[in-house]
Every structure is written in C-alpha cells, then in structure tokens.
Amino acid sequence: MSGDDKLPGGHEPEPWIEPGHTYASVTDKISSVVLTRPLGIGWLLGFAFLFGIVMVLNLAIGWLITKGVGIWGINIPIGWGFAIVNFVWWIGIGHAGTLISAILYLLNQKWRTSINRFAEAMTLFAVACAGLFPLIHTGRPWMAYYMFPYPSTMGIWPQFRSPLIWDVFAVSTYGTVSLLFWFVGLLPDLATLRDRAKSRWQQVIFGVLSLGWRGSARLVRRRSGATTWVCCSNRCTATVSSPGPSSPSGWA
C-alpha cells in the first residue's frame, strides 16, 4: 500500500471500510442514528400506517372474541382451522431466523453481525405473533391462565396430554431462549451506546442493559461461552417446538 492510501496520522484504512473512515467514525455514525437523530416525517408516517394495521388486528380479534371461532369456518369443537395454519407459519418464520443466525455464529463468520441482528429480531417478532394464536384459538383468552400449572385452590390443572399445552411451554421456552441469544449478542453494542450517550437518562438505560460490559478478555471469553450455549439451546428448542403430525382428535 502506498503512502497516498494512508489516513491522516499514518493509519491505513481497513480493506472493508470506505476510504476516509475508521472503525471509530463508522461507530459514531451508526450510534448517532439511535442517540441524536430526530424523528423524521417518513418515520412518523410509517409508524402511523403500521399503527393503523395493528388497530385492524385488534378489531379482528375483538370480532373473533365477540362472535366466536366459528367465523373461521370451524364446525367441529376440537379443530384449530385458521389458527393452526398461522401458528405453524409464524413458527416457521422464527425457525428461519434462528437457523440463519445460528449457522453464521457456529461457522464463525466475522461479517455476520448485522445479519444476525436482523435474523434474531425476526425470530422474536415471529414467536410473539405465533404465541397469539394458541391464545385466541380458545375463544376465551381471558381464561388463558388455565393453561399454566399454577397452584390453584380448586385443584384444577392443565390437560398435559393436549397439544395446546405443549404450545404454551414450547413457545414460551423458544421465546425466552431466542431473547437471550439476541440480548447476549447486543451487549457490546449497548455498551457502545452507553459510552457515547450524552443525556443522563440514556446513560442510565444503556448502562443497565449493557450489564457492565467493558470488553475485557474475561468478559469476551464468558460472552463467547454463553453465546455458544444459548445458540445450541436455541436450535434444540426450535426443533422440539416444531409442530408434528397429529390426528384431528389430538388438537384439543
């Protein structure tokens, strides 16, 4: 590399960074999107549009609760109908995000970070959407706590032979492990935002979320071990939570 290719101060640019930038300048530019960039009209319009779509979802769920699951065309009491199709579809989307991020991590691809963030966030939103359908499938979501084995003075326990109970435990476990996988990977990023935050409330929020991350060799080693463990657990949980074939009478 010739002397003309060097940055001021004698630093040579990294081959994957645009000339004129360093790691510090790229980090400052990305951090400013979160810390200092004001909300533009485009963001507000997009938020208003998506908020309207969520209101349509709430209207549809309200109509379902008012009229019952018969509006899905279900004519047998044990059928899932529309709910099982959407549940399996969203679980499949979640599996795709888990698979992408897990494979890139286990193969130790250095360029995976941005793709992993997107894939893991997609998994979390997909699991959240999937968790809605076992809830509204019952037609009485306000009674959902019956599906959890809580100490009851009436001695009522869930029917553990029902696949509906499997979904409760599978989705909650899958969501928890996916959240841990996403959060552990975010620790260095949260610490970066903490160190560059200007206002006190931002420093407190990002400081708490970063869990005291300082980038020391000891913390990097522990984070690497925790990420590997959570990654493998995530894939195992995703496999277990996959809906399998069942007879119509089993989907109670």
Q: What are the extents of the domains in the chain?
A: 77-250
Query: What is the CB neighbour count within 10 angstroms for residue 102?
Result: 20
pLDDT, tens digit only, all 252 positions of the chain: 444 455 455 555 456 667 777 777 777 777 777 877 777 888 899 999 999 999 999 999 899 888 888 888 877 766 777 888 888 888 888 888 878 887 887 777 777 777 878 888 888 888 888 888 888 887 778 877 777 777 777 777 777 777 777 777 878 888 888 888 888 888 888 888 888 878 888 888 888 888 888 878 888 888 777 777 777 776 666 665 555 544 444 444
pTM, entire model: 0.72
Question: Please, are residues 233 and 177 in contact by the beta-carbon 8 Å criterion?
Answer: yes
pLDDT score recorded for residue 58: 92
Give residue for tokens 């009436």: 154
Nearest to 64 by CA among 132, 159, 14, 6: 132
Cα–Cα distance measured from residue 117 to residue 68, given in angstroms and rounded to the nearest whole number: 38
**Encoding tokens for residue 64?**
């379902």
How large is the angle between the packed helices 82-106 and 163-196, nearest 10 degrees? Answer: 50
